[in-house]
Amino acid sequence: MNLENIKKVDSDVAKAIEAEYERQQNTIELIASENITSSAVMEACGSVLTNKYAEGKPHKRFYNGCECIDVIEELAQKRACELFHMDHANVQPHSGAQANMAVFMYCLKPGDHVMGMDLSNGGHLSHGSPVNFSGMYFDVKSYGVDENGNIDYENVRKIALEHKPKLIVCGASNYSKIIDFKKFREIADEVGALLLADIAHIAGLVAAGLHPSPAPYCDFVTTTTHKSLRGPRGGIIMCKEEHAAGIDKAVFPGMQGGPLEHIIAGKAVALLEASKPEFKEYAAQIIKNAKALAQGLMDEGMDIVGGMTENHLMTLDLRKTGKTGKDMANVLERVGITANKNTVPNDPQSPFVTSGIRLGTPAVTTRGFKEEDMIEVAKIIASAIYASDNELGLQNLKERSLKLCKKHPIER
């Protein structure tokens, strides 16, 4: 990480970047939606491509001088289609939420009926939350999970038959089980709905063949590129060929202007990396680490929503400890572990307080953590929660976290 030019121009920003690097280096990152990109991805994102305006599609730009940009964007599109087995890809969305917005814009008119996973049960804001565009402009009926943390597909079907949605959204922001895209397709067909799979969290696992693919069943697939896919911060929409022109128009000019071509270059690099055999090994280790962490926490007397994980994340249920997610996320940060507060099913606390903590393993797996390391992480987490008022104990736990970080340093 070379900051010499930034130091010459803006020492304040350079100092903050250095501090953030040190924070990441000395912190066990368990936020499920974060990862650590390769140097190649970062170089692409920091390249001269940031200088270029390129509104429009490849070879149909509103600006001249895009011939090199077109090559890169087409590479990203081709690699996304090949990796996820989809007909068409638009790699211009700036985020996953904007990718979802473009699909909504293409499929729906204000007031149309939509179904998505309830935010408090593991869905995303852009799946129909009333505080988000998806809930403000559309008539949304949400589905959730049962007491075991599983999607109740029969209840999803019941809601769909009653609500008659034009679009059903499957996929989640906090769901630790395998998603049955085939069942969602059957429900969508029964009510004549289009089907959108948001695989932002599990994209890396899908790419590696370690989670069932939505491609055979879904009209649209959206994803971020910065979670388990280990790319830059951004979004992608993939769809069947019949929807390609409409999706492209929904992205531009419908939803956003000039694409971030330096980020698209980072997406292209990450998609190529994700096609390599070593990425499949990495994705497999993500799941091994998650399972080890979940079991380690349960061995320490902690509760995990659903009692297990089948992917990269889990929710630690704190209700029996009498602690809140908000307070315990802050305690974990004091011992060198970052995670985020999260609701549990039927949470008695507000979404601003919560009774749970979401934990994920993509970033620590990138650093090289293995199962034995995750067992130690589980012990640190449980000890921090049980002894959250013991300053001396917390300092000892922080030293144990730092020892793990030094064992697995982040490349500079």
198 is catalytic: yes
Q: Which of the residues 55, 70, 112, 180 is marked catalytic?
A: 55
Q: Which of the residues 21, 53, 137, 153 is marked catalytic?
A: 53
Q: Which pLDDT belongs to residue 101?
A: 96
Beta-carbon-side half-sphere exposure of residue 300 (alpha carbons within 13 Å) = 24
Q: Which of the residues 37, 222, 223, 224 is marked catalytic?
A: 224
Which among 407, 338, 394 is positioned nearest to 27, based on CA atoms?
Answer: 338
315 is catalytic: no
CA distance 263 to 69: 11
SS3 content of the chain, % helix, strand, coil (to 5): 50, 15, 35
Q: Under a CB-based contact definition with an 8 Å cutoff, are residues 220 and 197 in contact?
A: yes
What are the backbone dihedrals phi and psi of residue 132, each rounded to the nearest 5 degrees, phi first?
A: -110, 160
- Report residues of the chain scoring pLDDT below 50: none
Q: Which of the residues 166, 233, 291, 367 is marked catalytic?
A: 233
Q: Which pLDDT belongs to residue 2?
A: 85
Tokens standing for residue 113: 């009926």
DSSP state of 10: -
Q: Which of the residues 52, 227, 341, 367 is marked catalytic?
A: 227
Quick one: fold of 42-274? Aspartate Aminotransferase; domain 2 (3.40.640)
Domain 282-407: CATH superfamily, name plus number: Aspartate Aminotransferase, domain 1 (3.90.1150.10)
Q: Which of the residues 73, 198, 317, 373 is marked catalytic?
A: 198
Q: Which pLDDT belongs to residue 377?
A: 98
224 is catalytic: yes
Residue 141, classed as helix, strand or coil, is strand
400 is catalytic: no
DSSP state of 151: B
Q: Which pLDDT belongs to residue 121?
A: 87
Q: What is the dihedral of CA 327, 96, 104, 159, to 10 degrees?
A: -50
CA distance 213 to 274: 15
CA distance 349 to 369: 33
* CB burial of residue 294 (10 Å; 0-12, 13-18, 19+): buried
Q: How many other β-carbons are positioned within 10 Å of the β-carbon of residue 347?
A: 18
- Going from N- to C-terminal start, the domains of the chain cover 42-274, 282-407
153 is catalytic: no
233 is catalytic: yes
Q: Where are the beta strands (DSSP E) in 199-311?
A: 220-224, 235-239, 303-304
Q: Which pLDDT belongs to residue 342?
A: 94
Q: If you search the block for the tokens 């982040």, which residue do you land on?
A: 410
For 304: left if phi > 0, alpha if psi spans -120 to 50, otherwise beta; the answer is beta
Each residue's pLDDT tens digit, 89-115: 999 999 999 999 999 999 999 999 999
Instruction: Give CA angle at 92 (277, 117), nearest 5°.
Output: 80
